[in-house]
């Protein structure tokens, strides 16, 4: 099986649950996804998988491994030789009259199955590159998801800031009216102006972060600048964290772990090759000899076998044997690392879920009630504008914290789906909600 055939196998639905669960991108006006207009997560992933510079290098790498596998399976070339003896000497052999010409053709016959072993080791090395490609694809998908979440969160923060600017402008107008009517202190007018100026300054920071996130997202598919107008995502869609035991069992689908079976086969092939290298080869030759002095011709044959007295590739065999023994330990270490990352991801997901639930269901409704009560008290002259600003500031800070917590939740989901190489809930449409 060539590495190109293997990569088609690696792309099957069993190993690529995460990529295939994303809804197909809607075609653009020119017949393809371009990254212009509104952008969904599935469209962003499609763009990145097609245009990411890091992934594009794997096509050449896979072709290179195919070429090396082909080369490893070729037989040694025959050798053509010409020997001239008994010429340019002295006496009877001073010229070319007594010269003897020998034309031979030789062939190296490799023993121990060297050629087959080399080809097998090269083929398995190509399969390892295919696993690296699969791992890189999931990393790109995870990176796109993270950046997409950042863009959606920044858009929400910008919308929240715009609402705050609108409210601050209304406050300024109301305070100015009260000051002109003599029912409020000019100090409150100054505070209203400062509040409006501050939130406008905050908007500049949020806008800068949004543009930076958009640029980083566009860079994942090789674009120099973002051309999409808006990232379409729903941060409000959250679910309780899944069972950790189920996810741990699903770690077997992670290409960083699944690759070790191929790695074990590759190192076994390297051990077999190392043993084959220790087998002595046979070099046979045959040809024709012409003797100028008599005009006679004769056949010549030869055979040579190296004497394996010192070098029987003992070191290469030992190194390959140790490498094969190392695989199980490396796989165990990889599994433990992935399990630790999974547990950390689940803890982050649970913490974010709890924070989102608390803010959304209990804290924010109470803060909004307090804001409405403070506004009413201010209109009735029971609160100062400073008191209203304090209550309102707390409410908007909590709304901003909710957006951050939702972004943390979905980022944790993306990391866990990277680890298990598939959706947490097994339901394809849910991924679009991230």
Q: For 284-293, what is each residue's pLDDT tens digit?
A: 999 998 888 7
The verdict on residue 263 lying in a domain is yes
What is the mean predicted confidence (pLDDT) over 90-100? 77
pLDDT value at position 21? 29
**194 HSE (CA, 13 A, CB side):** 9
By residue range, what is the domain housing residue 82? 41-87+97-432
Residues contacting 385, CB < 8 A, separation 6+: 171, 175, 184, 188, 191, 192, 378
What does the pLDDT look like over 418-432, one tens digit per residue?
999 888 875 433 333
For the cut 50, the answer to whether the pLDDT of residue 22 exceeds it is no
For the cut 60, the answer to whether the pLDDT of residue 4 exceeds it is no
The verdict on residue 15 lying in a domain is no
What's the number of domains the chain is made of?
Answer: 1
pLDDT value at position 426? 55
Higher pLDDT, 353 or 252: 353
On average, the pLDDT of the chain sits at 85
The verdict on residue 36 lying in a domain is no
The verdict on residue 33 lying in a domain is no
What does the pLDDT look like over 362-419, one tens digit per residue?
999 999 899 888 888 877 777 777 788 888 888 899 999 999 999 999 999 999 999 9
pLDDT value at position 34? 54
What is the mean predicted confidence (pLDDT) over 259-273? 94
Highest mean pLDDT among 23-37, 236-250, 376-390: 236-250
% of the chain at pLDDT higher than 90: 55
Q: How confident is the model at residue 340 (pLDDT cuts 50, 70, 90)?
A: very high
Cβ count near 100 (within 10 Å): 19
Q: How confident is the model at residue 36 (pLDDT cuts 50, 70, 90)?
A: low
Structure tokens at 305: 């076998």
pLDDT value at position 326? 94
The verdict on residue 2 lying in a domain is no
User: Diameter of the chain by CA atoms?
Assistant: 137
Sheet holding 282-291, edge to edge: 79-85, 100-109, 282-291, 296-304
The verdict on residue 259 lying in a domain is yes
Distance (Å, whole) CA 165 – CA 171: 10
For the cut 60, the answer to whether the pLDDT of residue 1 exceeds it is no
Query: What CATH number does residue 212 fall under?
Result: 1.20.1600.10
- Backbone torsions φ then ψ of 290, nearest 5 degrees: -115, 130
The verdict on residue 155 lying in a domain is yes
pLDDT value at position 33? 52
What is the mean predicted confidence (pLDDT) over 22-36? 43
The verdict on residue 314 lying in a domain is yes
What is the mean predicted confidence (pLDDT) over 33-49? 83
Q: How confident is the model at residue 18 (pLDDT cuts 50, 70, 90)?
A: very low
Q: How confident is the model at residue 245 (pLDDT cuts 50, 70, 90)?
A: confident
Distance (Å, whole) CA 210 – CA 205: 9
What does the pLDDT look like over 102-147, one tens digit per residue?
999 999 998 988 999 999 999 999 999 999 999 999 999 999 999 9
């Amino acid at each position: 099986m060539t590495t190109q055939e293997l990569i088609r196998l690696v792309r099957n639905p069993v190993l690529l649950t995460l990529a295939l669960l994303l809804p197909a991108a809607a075609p653009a006006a020119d017949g393809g996804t371009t990254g212009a207009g509104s952008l969904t997560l599935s469209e962003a992933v499609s763009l990145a998988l097609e245009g990411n510079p890091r992934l594009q290098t794997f096509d050449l790498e896979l072709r290179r491994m195919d070429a090396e596998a082909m080369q490893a399976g070729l037989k040694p070339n025959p050798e053509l030789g010409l020997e001239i003896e008994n010429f340019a000497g002295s006496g009877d052999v001073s010229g070319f009259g007594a010269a003897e010409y020998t034309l031979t053709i030789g062939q190296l016959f490799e023993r121990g199955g060297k050629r087959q072993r080399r080809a097998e080791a090269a083929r398995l090395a190509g399969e390892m590159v295919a696993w690296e490609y699969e791992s890189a694809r999931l990393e790109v998908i995870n990176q796109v998801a993270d950046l997409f979440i950042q863009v959606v969160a920044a858009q929400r923060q910008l919308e929240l800031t715009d609402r705050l600017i609108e409210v601050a402008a209304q406050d300024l107008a109301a305070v100015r009216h009260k000051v002109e009517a003599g029912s409020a202190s000019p100090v409150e007018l100054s505070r209203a102006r400062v509040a409006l100026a501050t939130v406008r300054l905050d908007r500049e920071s949020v806008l800068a972060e949004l543009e930076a996130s958009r640029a980083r997202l566009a860079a994942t598919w090789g674009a120099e600048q973002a051309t999409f107008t808006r990232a379409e995502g729903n941060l409000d869609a959250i679910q309780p964290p899944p069972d950790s035991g189920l996810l741990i069992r699903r770690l077997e689908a992670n290409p960083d772990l699944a690759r070790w079976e191929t790695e074990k086969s590759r190192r076994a092939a390297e051990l077999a090759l190392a043993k084959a290298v220790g087998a002595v080869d046979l070099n046979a030759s045959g040809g024709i000899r012409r003797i100028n002095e008599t005009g006679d011709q004769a056949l010549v044959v030869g055979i040579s076998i190296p004497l394996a007295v010192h070098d029987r590739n003992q070191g290469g065999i030992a190194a390959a044997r140790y490498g094969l023994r190392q695989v199980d330990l490396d796989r165990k270490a990889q599994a433990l690392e992935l399990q630790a990352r999974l547990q950390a991801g689940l803890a982050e997901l649970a913490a974010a879920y709890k924070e989102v639930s608390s803010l959304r269901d209990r804290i924010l409704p109470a803060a909004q009630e307090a804001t409405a009560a403070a506004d009413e008290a201010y209109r009735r002259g029971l609160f100062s504008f400073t008191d209203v600003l304090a209550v309102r500031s707390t409410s908007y800070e909590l709304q901003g914290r909710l957006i951050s917590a939702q972004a943390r939740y979905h980022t944790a989901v993306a990391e866990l789906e990277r680890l298990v190489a598939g959706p947490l809930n097994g339901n394809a449409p849910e991924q679009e909600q991230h």
